[in-house]
Amino acid sequence: MYTHPVIEIFGPTIQGEGALAGQKSHFIRFGGCDYRCTWCDSLYAVNPHTVKETAQRLTAVQIEQKVVELGGGDTPWVTLTGGNPCIHQLGDLVDLLLKGGHDINVETQGSLAPEWLERCQLVTVSPKPPSSGMQVDLDDLNRCLATASRAILKIPVFGVVDLQWAKLLHQDKRFKDYPLYLTVGTESGGSLLSISDQILHRYDWLVSQVLGDPTFGNVNILPQLHVLLWGHKRGV
């Protein structure tokens, strides 16, 4: 029986960012990622040693059962996240979740384009800006977005250089028609109060920068609601 490396399944909770911000959802987090972003807030799902030690190998049926046990039978949205869920062959799970009446949102950085993305209701593609230390391949990004039947771009912004990069991407003819969501980037660590202060301060800055720049056309600017509420706590 084919199994998938699952780090955690949790919910119901709210989706904290992007097109579904505020939406009640369950989350399935898979282990493994082809990136190593400097500010990654889910390294426990990225570091190969940690993933090997902690990931549970579960079949699609076991994963779907767990979601239902958590109350997911009454909550349609399920988010597949990581790590990068696109490094896995999740077609069997996607088909099972769809059969069970779920709506699927996938969170990925856009480096890969597995065929099963096409069957998901939404693909939230989050290319990583320069502050991540990663180099985005725009052809790969384009392929991932084109594979999805509905996709949005969600870019975390940690400062001026990231914002400039997001603007260039937004102006690129390959990407300009995708809805653009800018998210306030936050570093891990610190008390909830200091994290909230940092988020609101950066949100204020980001909003003023974007509103003052007419080249940003149709854009949505949001803080990470879950981080504002719970900091970087896991499983919420």
- Kindly state the smallest distance separating residue 132's Cβ from ligand SF4, in Å: 6
String of DSSP letters for 54-106: H-EEE-HHHHHHHHIIIIITS--EEEEESS-GGGS--HHHHHHHHHTT-EEEE
Of 125 and 222, which has the nearer Cβ to ligand SF4?
125
Burial of 82 (0-12, 13-18, 19+ CB in 10 A): buried
Of 33 and 120, which has the nearer Cβ to ligand SF4?
33
Backbone phi and psi for residue 67, each to the nearest 5 degrees, phi listed first: -60, -45
- Kindly state the smallest distance separating residue 214's Cβ from ligand SF4, in Å: 30
Residues that bind ligand SF4 (CB under 6 A): 33, 35-37, 40, 42, 46, 82-84, 109, 128
Of 65 and 131, which has the nearer Cβ to ligand SF4?
131
- Kindly state the smallest distance separating residue 140's Cβ from ligand SF4, in Å: 13
Of 25 and 124, which has the nearer Cβ to ligand SF4?
124
| Residue 22 · residue 38 · CB < 8 Å | no
- Kindly state the smallest distance separating residue 144's Cβ from ligand SF4, in Å: 12
The 8-class DSSP code of residue 168 comes to H
